[in-house]
Structures are given as structure tokens and as C-alpha cells.
Amino acid sequence: MKRRDFLKSVSGLAAAGALTPAPAIWSSAKAQARSETLLIVSESGPNNLDIHGVGTNVPGYEVSWNCYDRLISHEMKSGPGGVPYYDRDKFKPELAEDMNVGDMSVTFKLKKHAKFHDGAPVTAKDVKWSLDRAVSVGGFPTFQMGAGSLTKTEQFVVVDDSTVRIDFAKKDRLTIPDLAVIVPCIINSELVKKNATEKDPWGLEYTKQQTAGSGAYKVVKWTAGTEVVMERNDAWAGGPLPKVKRVIWRMVPQAGNRRALLERGDADISYDLPNKDFVELKDSGKLNIVSVPYSNGVQYIGMNVKIAPFDNVKVREAVACAIPYQKIMDAVLFGLAKPMFGAAADKATEVAWPQPTKYVTDIAKAKALLAEAGYPNGFETTLSFDLGFAGVNEPLCILVQESLAQIGIKTTINKIPGANWRTELNKKVLPLYTNVFSGWLDYPEYFFIWCYDGKNSIFNTMSYQSKPMDEFIHGAVDAAAIGNTAKYDADVKGFVDLAFKDIPRIPLYQPYVNVAMQKNVSGYQYWFHRRLDYRTLVKA
């Protein structure tokens, strides 16, 4: 008798005992409920059901994505490993049935039969009110709208009951894609206005607790920090009716328990497990594991170029040559990431981002570079990381510390609590650190505006400022707006080359989104926001 069979028979015996509920199926109704319900487990849950809210966290985006519609969304294409992957360049209507792009405006015709969860029809007035709200409430939503040059309420014009025109502030390639991100969701304006107060004219308090959209799902119960229960909206007009009737999303803080729930077959999907668990689950073959690289995301080692000795490009190069790249891939990530280093020396730069650098671990070269820079005996500095992602950051930093010690750079590791990380980054005083950045809009120039531009945004954590770099970036932005491909390609190659030559930040790898699900669950799609889209999931 095998051990597993023995255990099974033991648990079988125990099932006769008094208090052995195990997968308790008490009635056929409950069994049916289970087969029509998708049970998702994750570490943390939403703090707000509305992405326009103050400080809505990332799990909150998932609720918004599934419970609200946008005017347009993206088509799917086949991505890495055959996983359906959103197509950056192809849009499909969601609430709109037709999109008509003019020279300085875009006009949407709304689907006539689209209705909100309470049965009210979706009108052009709702669209305007929702977009007005997104550009007015401040904080993240307004900021994200601004990324697509959508900043003023005057830009949104009601033409008639089912037609909306959006005027462009300027020619910007990112305006249309920015209408397909999570933020410009369409809200039931009459319902929310009824529940708004003088102090809260946009009704943020109301939509925080309940969904007021037209999306494929609606929240029927939300216990903050414990669970979110969503039910399918059978009257959904945004696309084909989803297969899953009910989604129960439970917060299970312990990673080991999430894995146990998956392996026992009690939970259907989990997506934030440590890399090691994912590799082991993949090898065991009991579950479906999907790994897809983050679009437009890179984990990197940053160096503050305003602080000596990192103001010296030779020092930065020396560090780039001393990073234990392959060790990080193997020992920290267990291979679940896409390397962003070690491209062949004769490989031409591509018009793409992210792409690998040509750096490899070469201690001798690093030593020589450091000596050339005037630090033959190295120096001392601190290496900081965000404790909120300690699972990856801590071993990564220890490997880097070890490796830098070989060329004489003595580092003290500085662990910064998650709540404090962004504050510290904002101060721009950390000399050496690791961090990750990923943009929703998957365009090289979008990434570079945030991370390398001289206007020194908070993601330009290196305080890197360079005139030629700014010229390349803005050249690419302007070329994209008027469709000048030749100039665009040249500028993108220009800024990528310069970023690798000046090397203020050393790309390490493109992280993977790892999703583990039961064999009978299918239909996973990768989206730019990296959260789950329940609408295409199927439970057999």
C-alpha cells in the first residue's frame, strides 16, 4: 500500500467520525454551488471597491476591472508560452459599439441595450460624468488620466444620448490606450449622485462600499480583509456571458496555506505564491501553472547618480559587471523570470522595451573599472530594499552584497518597511537599492518618461538627468504622435543605448506573473494590470 493511499484510507475511516467536515457536501444544492463557484485565494484583498477612491489598493483594481466596463478594451493575442495576452495595439468595443477616431477627437457610440446593475440604461451622460470624475477626484486616477493627456472635463462632450466625443488636448499616442486602462470605468451616475453628499460630491464613500457599474460581475458581499463575493450580471452587454456564476475571493495571509488549499483541491486559483512554491507545483504536475513576464516591467539595481561615488560612470559600470546575474536567476527566482542581461556582444539594439543589456558577471573587469575610477580598494555604501517584497529582495540583496564585496565594495543592507519605502525613495537619498517598476501602458517611451526623464519623476529613482536622453525621449513621443516610424525607431534605440551606456540603473530581469489553478480551470488571460479577469475563466 502506498503512503498516499494509506492516508486516504485513514481519512476515509475518519470521515465516519463525529466532527469531520472535510469538503463538506451536505446537499446537492451545495455541491452544485461549488461547481458553479470559483474560489480564489490571495494574500490581501481590496480596501475600496472603486478605483477612483482615495488610496485604493491594487486588489481593489481587480474588483473594478470585473465589475465595471470601459468604453473600449483590448483584443487578445497569443503571448509567451501560448498564454492569451492582451494586444497592445488592437482595441475592441466594450460599452461602445463603435469607435471613430478623428484628427483631434474620438467619437464613441454606446451600445443601446447596455444597462447598469440596477437596470438603468447606460447613457452618454453617465460616460461624461464618470470621465469628469476620473480627471477631477485627484490622486492616482487623475494622474493616470493625465498620462494620456486627458486632464480637463471640457474634453468630454455629450453629443446625444448615446454618443460621446472626447477631444484631444494634443496629439498623443497614449490617449486611446489610456481609455482602455482600469481608471476610465463607467459609473451609474444617477445612482451615485443620489448617494453623494455636499462634502463628497463624487459619491466616493458610496462606491467604496458597493459597485455601481454595468460590468460582468457585481459585488454582493464584501468583508474587508476577509472575503469578496461576486455574482455574475446576467444582463451584461460588454461581451459574451461569462461562464462562472459566482466568484468567492478569500484572503489567506499564509502562503503555505494557500499552497495547501490548492494542492488539496479546495481553492481554484491563487496567484501570489513564492517562486519556490510555483516551481514545485509546476514540477508536481497536479495543477495548471501559468507564468508570463510582466509587460513593461523590470527589476533593477539603482544607483543615485547625484551621490559620490555613483556619480562616476566607471563606478556604475563596475557595479554592473559585478552583479551575480545568473545566481539571482537560479537561487532567488528559481528560473521564473526573464533575464535582462547577457545579450550577445554583436546583438543590435531593438525597438523594444524591456530588452537585455550586454552585461555579464565579470569580477576581473569590475575590479579594473573600479581602479580606473580611482577606487582600487573599493568603498563603503548601503544597499536598500523594500521589506514588503522581502521574499525576493532579501536573498537578491545578499547575493549582490556578497558579489560586491569581491571587488572591495562593502555594503550594509538597509531593510525598509513597506509603508516607508516610497517615502524613502521619494527623498532620493538612497545610494544603492533594488526596486521594480512596471507601467500599465506598454510603450518604451512611457517607461522612459517615468524612469529616465530629466523632469526627475519619483520613478527616476536615480535622479538621472541628461540632455541627450531627454531629446531622445521627447523625440520618440512626438514622432509616435504623428506616426513618423523612422524617427521613432531611431530615438527609441537612442535612449535604450544611452540608458545602457550611462547605466544609472542596472536591469536584472523581467518578473513573471505566476498563476496556479486547478486542472479543471481554464481561460486565464494576461492583462496589463496583471490581475485576474474572471470573465473568461471557465470551471469545468
Partner 1 sequence: MLTMIGKRLMFAIPSLIGVVIVTFLLTRALPGDPAAYFAGPAASKEAIEQIRKKLGFDKPLIEQFLRYANDLAHGDFGTSLTTGQPVATEIRNRLPASAELTLLGLIVSITIAIPLGVLAATRPGSWIDHLCRVTTTAGVSLPVFFTGLVLVYVFYFRLGWSPAPLGRLDVFYSAPPTVTGLYLIDALIAREFETFRSALSQLILPAATLAIFSLAPIARMTRASMLAVLASDFVRTARASGLSPSTVIVTYAFRNAMLPVITTLSMVFSFLLGANVLVEKVFAWPGIGSYAVEALISSDFAPVQGFVLTMAVMYVLLNLVIDILYGVIDPRVRLEG
- Which stretch in 7-15, 285-293, 332-340, 512-520 sits in contact with partner 1 by CB under 8 A? 7-15
| Beta-carbon count within 10 A of 464 CB | 22
Question: Binding of partner 1 at residue 352 (CB under 8 A)?
Answer: no
Question: Binding of partner 1 at residue 57 (CB under 8 A)?
Answer: yes
At which residue does the C-alpha cell 494620456 appear?
148
Strand partners, 69: 186
Question: Binding of partner 1 at residue 257 (CB under 8 A)?
Answer: yes
How far lies 32's CA from each of 27, 29, 37, 268, 535, in Å?
Answer: 9, 5, 9, 15, 20
- Which stretch in 10-18, 106-114, 343-351, 501-509 sits in contact with partner 1 by CB under 8 A? 10-18
For residue 135, give the nearest of 152, 114, 110, 112 by alpha carbon: 152
Q: Provide the minimum distance between the beta carbon of 93 and partner 1 in the complex, in angstroms, as a whole number.
A: 27
Q: Provide the minimum distance between the beta carbon of 248 and partner 1 in the complex, in angstroms, as a whole number.
A: 5
- Which stretch in 245-253, 325-333, 402-410, 468-476 sits in contact with partner 1 by CB under 8 A? 245-253
CA dihedral over 517, 521, 525, 530, signed as positive or negative: negative
- Options 104, 241, 458, 538; binder of partner 1; rule CB under 8 A: 458
H or E element, residue 402: helix 390-405
Q: Provide the minimum distance between the beta carbon of 117 and partner 1 in the complex, in angstroms, as a whole number.
A: 20
Instruction: Please say which residue, 274 or 342, places its beta carbon nearer to partner 1.
Output: 274
Angstrom distance (rounded) from CA 210 to CA 49? 6
- Which stretch in 49-57, 312-320, 487-495, 515-523 sits in contact with partner 1 by CB under 8 A? 49-57
- Options 130, 144, 175, 275; binder of partner 1; rule CB under 8 A: 144
Angstrom distance (rounded) from CA 188 to CA 264? 41
Question: Binding of partner 1 at residue 224 (CB under 8 A)?
Answer: yes
Residue 252 cell numbers, joined? 489567506
- Which stretch in 99-107, 139-147, 272-280, 472-480 sits in contact with partner 1 by CB under 8 A? 139-147
Strand partners, 514: 291
Angstrom distance (rounded) from CA 170 to CA 165? 15
Q: Provide the minimum distance between the beta carbon of 412 and partner 1 in the complex, in angstroms, as a whole number.
A: 18
Q: Provide the minimum distance between the beta carbon of 53 and partner 1 in the complex, in angstroms, as a whole number.
A: 7
| Backbone angles phi and psi of 496, in degrees to 5 | -65, -45
- Options 364, 419, 486, 540; binder of partner 1; rule CB under 8 A: 419
Peptide bond connecting 354 to the previous residue in cis, omega within 30 degrees of 0:
yes
For residue 432, the number of C-alpha atoms closer than 13 Å in the C-beta half-sphere is: 24
Angstrom distance (rounded) from CA 270 to CA 285? 16
Instruction: Please say which residue, 331 or 458, places its beta carbon nearer to partner 1.
Output: 458
Question: Binding of partner 1 at residue 423 (CB under 8 A)?
Answer: yes
Instruction: Please say which residue, 249 or 500, places its beta carbon nearer to partner 1.
Output: 249
Instruction: Please say which residue, 123 or 295, places its beta carbon nearer to partner 1.
Output: 295
Question: Binding of partner 1 at residue 14 (CB under 8 A)?
Answer: yes
Angstrom distance (rounded) from CA 49 to CA 71? 19
Angstrom distance (rounded) from CA 520 to CA 229? 21
Residue 120 is given by DSSP the state P
Instruction: Please say which residue, 26 or 103, places its beta carbon nearer to partner 1.
Output: 26
Q: Provide the minimum distance between the beta carbon of 244 and partner 1 in the complex, in angstroms, as a whole number.
A: 14
The count of chain residues that interact with partner 1, using the rule CB under 8 A, is 62
Strand partners, 12: none
- Whether the Cβ atoms of residue 109 and residue 158 lie closer than 8 Å to each other: no
Question: Binding of partner 1 at residue 264 (CB under 8 A)?
Answer: yes
Angle between helix 390-405 and 313-322 (nearest 10): 110
Q: Provide the minimum distance between the beta carbon of 48 and partner 1 in the complex, in angstroms, as a whole number.
A: 5
Peptide bond connecting 309 to the previous residue in cis, omega within 30 degrees of 0:
yes
Question: Binding of partner 1 at residue 37 (CB under 8 A)?
Answer: yes
Contact set with partner 1 (CB under 8 A): 7, 10-11, 14, 17, 19-22, 24, 26, 30, 33-34, 37, 39, 41, 46-48, 53-58, 138-140, 142-144, 208-209, 223-227, 248, 250-254, 256-257, 260-261, 263-264, 266-267, 417-420, 422-423, 426, 457-458
